[in-house]
Structure 1
């Protein structure tokens, strides 16, 4: 078919608008002979009938397998150069007690960024020694709880936090393991690795300031400095940024060794996944091998031992395990003026089909926040209708409430159809809100033909439970 002039350049009009492109969908997702999408033996119609829509649907084995694959990739890569690896699941991507248990059983530790996330990890029964806590403004109660329960490591983000964590550990009669977050000057999202003296961001400290802060950490008997922590960005394709950051941090690591042991180096996460057929994420094994190679070479050059290399993937573990299921409410064709790359009208028009569903930015804020691109498919059937360029819109009272900016669907998409948007495992449920007083959807895990709720959906009663006016009226 001929591409719609409103379509972005990356969107391939020749791709079958019924096809499920591998790499975007969870491993068990396929179409049945009837045309329905099936996940791990359960059809979308069954899911919608039993649990309603919107609905987050997780392939449990996919998530478990991906966690194991990430750990094994880094274990093998570091082992091959004489080192060891430690993988933390970045809980901010999506956290519930079941996911904590899945990643823990795959051999991962868990990284949390708040007292609430810590509470979830602890409620899952995870050994606190396998938990890392970070954040740029940890409250005193959060610090004291983390120290008290025996959290394995706390990431120090500023000079102020050194004293707070040291005092909490001293009062608890403990020695707390800590890392120091450092900005390496590598900004992977810009495709240029610029080392600047002063980083304009809220996280961490500069490489130049790090030695003084490490000396301060070492001056407290209640603290044990175990290494540096860094994070260079999110949704990164390629390995150059990770390699460059590792090299810079190892130079600082070698300097710090002169003042005492530095057993670990945490290089953070940010490994990208595919959201559309145009995305080509770097295989996790390739990332692990490149990091191991750079670490090994730099350590030889610096004449130091290879530290334990820690990484913190979140999206790369959970992202593609999940799709969100919606029901179509309305459709409308909108005629749009076509403009050139300079925003000047070409004098031509084209039609974009708006398809509105029963969720929106309250269950996936990423398109509105970041302009993130997603794909979409009709989930309950296939069609040989001519493909149409669609924009999937939510039901919120916001013109920016868009879930999919551009994809092709069969032109006969209509109210009552079920739509599935893949790769919604990371930063969708975790960013969910009650905007317009919509209830947050449930999360269902599917395995071996059985679907079970792992996070229940909210009700209107939940929304009103904190409204004191309702409570007083009832009294």
Structure 2
């Protein structure tokens, strides 16, 4: 057994999920010994503390609702795009922020209410837009005028959208990280909104 699977005299658990503990020098997560999981399934392996994740989602919702009653917490599906995790989060009442057909299909497989799904992405395909319309998702985020035209061509009835507006702000930052300027691929430039 290597040092990672052995006993640990001390470990800073501040960045771990709330249900992480050292029990007899062994890291546990949600009551499971991490070393046992590694031994049985090998490494690397993903170990999700369902109770901890569920509680974090509920905490976010409570905190936001206490300040903005009509708000909705969305789970960024790209952070863990599996139907099991997405479903666990959706079961708490959170919505799902999806980007791409794969995440849209994964959201559909979870059985989440489609009205709690939001499709993002600055390069949405016609297939993604068609699937979003078919599923009757909550919103399609419009990133450019091309999105508007393609949604209009495919829709047979009104489709709820959110406009992502680029505010034309040139921040003094690394050019690769600047996203609010006029030439940004994210959002419709504010001067094009009338």
TM-score bracket, shorter-length normalisation: 0.7 to 0.9
SS at match of 1:58: coil
Q: Deviations over 1:369-423 (max 9, x none)?
A: xxxxxxxxxxxxxxxxxxxxxxxxxxxxxxxxxxxxxxxxxxxxxxxxxxxxxxx
Q: Which residue of 2 aligns with 1:132?
A: 118
* 1:104–1:126 CA contact under 8 A, matched in 2: yes
Q: 1:46 aligns with which of 36, 44, 47?
A: 36
Check 1:137–1:41 CA distance in 2 against 1; reply closer, same or farther (3 A cut). Answer: same
The whole-number CA distance in structure 1 between the counterparts of 2:65 and 2:144 is 31
Give the drift of 1:20: 2.9
Give the drift of 1:73: 0.5
**Residue 163 of structure 2 corresponds to residue 180 of structure 1:** yes
Give the drift of 1:189: 9.4
* 1:20–1:30 CA contact under 8 A, matched in 2: no
The whole-number CA distance in structure 1 between the counterparts of 2:128 and 2:96 is 16
Check 1:185–1:126 CA distance in 2 against 1; reply closer, same or farther (3 A cut). Answer: same
SS at match of 1:86: coil
Q: Deviations over 1:101-125 (max 9, x none)?
A: 2221221111101011000000111
Give the drift of 1:21: 2.4
Q: 2:55 aligns with which of 47, 61, 65?
A: 65
Q: Which one has the bigger strand percentage?
A: 1
Q: 1:152 aligns with which of 138, 147, 150?
A: 138
* 2:166–2:184 CA contact under 8 A, matched in 1: no
Q: Which residue of 2 aligns with 1:313?
A: none
* 1:111–1:133 CA contact under 8 A, matched in 2: yes
**Residue 14 of structure 2 corresponds to residue 28 of structure 1:** no
**Residue 182 of structure 2 corresponds to residue 199 of structure 1:** yes
* 1:28–1:62 CA contact under 8 A, matched in 2: yes
**Residue 105 of structure 2 corresponds to residue 119 of structure 1:** yes
The whole-number CA distance in structure 2 between the counterparts of 1:108 and 1:197 is 27
Counterparts of 1:425-464 in structure 2 under 5 Å?
none
Q: Which residue of 2 aligns with 1:141?
A: 127
SS at match of 1:47: helix
The whole-number CA distance in structure 1 between the counterparts of 2:107 and 2:29 is 27
Counterparts of 1:216-231 in structure 2 under 5 Å?
none
Structure possessing the higher radius of gyration over alpha carbons: 1
SS at match of 1:77: coil
Q: Which runs of 4+ in 1 moved over 4 A?
A: 185-190
* 2:166–2:181 CA contact under 8 A, matched in 1: no
Q: Which residue of 2 aligns with 1:245?
A: none
SS at match of 1:110: strand
SS at match of 2:97: strand
* 2:167–2:180 CA contact under 8 A, matched in 1: no
* 1:197–1:208 CA contact under 8 A, matched in 2: no
SS at match of 1:89: strand
Q: Which residue of 2 aligns with 1:76?
A: 66
SS at match of 2:14: coil
Instruction: Give the TM-score, by structure 1 length.
Output: 0.36
Counterparts of 1:243-322 in structure 2 under 5 Å?
none
C-alpha RMSD over aligned residues: 2.4
Check 1:57–1:139 CA distance in 2 against 1; reply closer, same or farther (3 A cut). Answer: same
Q: Which residue of 1 aligns with 2:73?
A: 87
Q: 1:99 aligns with which of 85, 103, 108?
A: 85
SS at match of 1:176: coil
Give the drift of 1:18: 5.1
Q: Which runs of 5+ in 1 are unaligned?
A: 1-16, 191-195, 212-475
SS at match of 1:31: strand
Q: Which residue of 2 aligns with 1:19?
A: 10
**Residue 94 of structure 2 corresponds to residue 108 of structure 1:** yes
Q: Which residue of 2 aligns with 1:453?
A: none
Give the drift of 1:200: 3.5
Q: Which one has the bigger helix percentage?
A: 2
* 2:167–2:182 CA contact under 8 A, matched in 1: no
